[in-house]
Structure 1
Amino acid sequence: MLTDDGCRLWTEVGGQGPPLVFCHGGPGLWDMAGDLATMFAGDYRTIRWDQRGCGRSARRGPYTLDRAVEDLDAVLTGHAEEKATLLGHSWGAHLALEYTLRHPGRVRRLVYVAGTGIDDEDTWKPAFRERVRGVPGGWDRAAVVRQWTAEFPDRERAAAHAEAMATPWFDINRECNTTLNAEVARRLRETDVAALCRELRVPVLIIDGSEDLRPRWAVDSLAAALPDVRRVIFDGASHLPWVEDPDGFSGAVLGDPRR
């Protein structure tokens, strides 16, 4: 599909039912929700997309939070005639939250998975950096697979999970990653997002893995600010709880009485 400024975005639609739109992590990565789309295809019309500059979408900016929200709005306008459920993972959880705060009338429910909350990142990032100390860095596939392997506490299956995440592989958009991370950090420093959340009347389901390398207490203030929120924490799971506990994850999403 094309955005209003002519950027080509890759999308894939499947399943039956009310619309469910996935917002992938990153920034600068690509949609990895194939398993999720299959998981929910019997209950939802699943809508996947690669964000601007990422994966199978056109590699062009601008890379701003406002533009990312506008692109998500274009996806909803093009593929969801009714209110949609948004399922955002990691950075995508923040993007989905931002969209919901700006366009609450377009969102039926927000599923906020493995996000990092709404506090200044300086409150949680030092703890995260300490937990990943010694994990080799890098942007090529081999280096990234090593980094992603560290995300999974089940060491026997960690490498296979990381390889699956990296297949298919697309080069990470480093400009997108750096620019959007800086903008999100600035917004959380300069804006009282908690006050905006207190006014939100959209149901929110927060899903965490207890072993996520990003400390889960970083999400506490978000959960406290939301008027209509449920929170599910999967013991033993980490940053991709649907990979580590697919039955539990689908049960949490589909079993939410507000869906």
Structure 2
Amino acid sequence: MNDVRERAVTVDDGAQLWTLSSGPEGGSPVILCHGGPGLWDDLGPVAAMLDSTHLVHRYDQRGCGRSTGPDDYRVERAVADLDALRQHWGHERWTVFGHSWGATLVLAYAWTYPDHVQAVIHCSGTGPGNEWRAPYHAESARRLTVEQQNRLEELENQERNWDEEVEYRTLCWLPGYADPTMAETWAREAASVPFEINWRANRELWTGRSDLIPAARNVTAPTLIVHGEEDPRPLANVRRLLGVIPNATLAAIPGAGHSPWLEAPAVLSGHLNAFCSAHAQRLPS
């Protein structure tokens, strides 16, 4: 990874957003938006795929990870925070990448601020509506043993110490990986990050998530939809976005689950670099 610059950016209501930037200052800018809601940036491997040629920004969303409140967890506020970062860095337009919940966020940003979006990357999202929920929960349960399912339910309904919290998160995130030989290792690594999950942000942002179909028709920027074929969030529902977003293409990644940078890094890197290079800003030298 190229030279990394870490800073806190204060937005209009006093929230301080932790940010990390890497790559050449003159590179075409890309912002990476993490999932959750209520989690923290875990997209360093994605940044490393792009920052040899692009200026890549990452951040923790408000009240999450290393960022502070106030506690305003509306989708509109999350979109405003994202644009405040754009203004802070002085970018007229940028490419917006979102993973999981972040994929919903970047679509909302793209239809709210179309003049500031160069291109959109929707990675491992859920797609429109709620039709994804039943097959997602069924497939996630199928990937856990009965003992794991019982233990997950037990942990969910009790106060947890730190070791139990790591165990709980591991079981929650375990089904997201396609490779059964590495799933527990990857899930435990993610679960061991020493930040609290912001459950209020999780609850309120999901509750405030509107159906994507009507508004996504207003996403005019070129859009790449990236999805692991083995993600328990069904590809079929994500594919529906192709009939909605006017300028969207799909890159389905065989053998990859919810975090394709772990299970198919070369394939993901190829898709991202080809797309970002094709739609890079031609900045003055």
Q: Structure 1 length as normaliser, TM-score?
A: 0.92
**Distance in 2 separating the partners of 1:83 and 1:252:** 21
Letter in 1 for 2:29: P
Structure 1, unmatched stretches of 5+, are none
Q: Please, which of 95, 104, 119 is the counterpart of residue 109 of structure 1?
A: 119
Q: Please, which of 188, 196, 200 is the counterpart of residue 163 of structure 1?
A: 188
Matched residue, 1:243: 262
Q: Please, which of 7, 14, 31 is the counterpart of residue 21 of structure 1?
A: 31
RMSD: 1.6
Tell me the CA shift for residue 59 of structure 1. 4.3
1:130 aligns with 2:149: no
Letter in 2 for 1:10: W
Structure 2, unmatched stretches of 5+, are 1-8, 281-285
1:90 aligns with 2:109: no
Tell me the CA shift for residue 254 of structure 1. 1.0
Q: Please, which of 1, 11, 20 is the counterpart of residue 12 of structure 1?
A: 20
1:67 aligns with 2:83: no
Q: Structure 2 length as normaliser, TM-score?
A: 0.84
Q: Please, which of 35, 42, 46 is the counterpart of residue 36 of structure 1?
A: 46
Change in Cα spacing, 1:224 to 1:213, as seen in structure 2 (3 Å) is same
Letter in 2 for 1:44: H
Tell me the CA shift for residue 60 of structure 1. 3.4
Matched residue, 1:3: 11
Q: Secondary structure at the match of 1:9?
A: strand
* 1:192-251 superposed Cα distances (whole Å, 9 cap, x missing partner): x43433343200000000011111111122111111111100111011111111110010
* 1:18-37 superposed Cα distances (whole Å, 9 cap, x missing partner): 11101100000000011111
Change in Cα spacing, 1:39 to 1:28, as seen in structure 2 (3 Å) is same
* 1:49-92 superposed Cα distances (whole Å, 9 cap, x missing partner): 00011000014311111111111111111124231111100100
Q: Identity over aligned residues, as a percent? A: 34
Aligned residues: 251
**Distance in 2 separating the partners of 1:183 and 1:66:** 9
Matched residue, 1:154: 179
Tell me the CA shift for residue 167 of structure 1. 4.8
Matched residue, 1:218: 237
Letter in 1 for 2:66: R
Query: Which of 1 and 2 has greater Rg?
Result: 2
Q: After superposition, where does 1:136-215 map in structure 2 within 5 Å?
A: 136-137=152-153, 138=156, 140-184=165-209, 187-188=210-211, 193-215=212-234
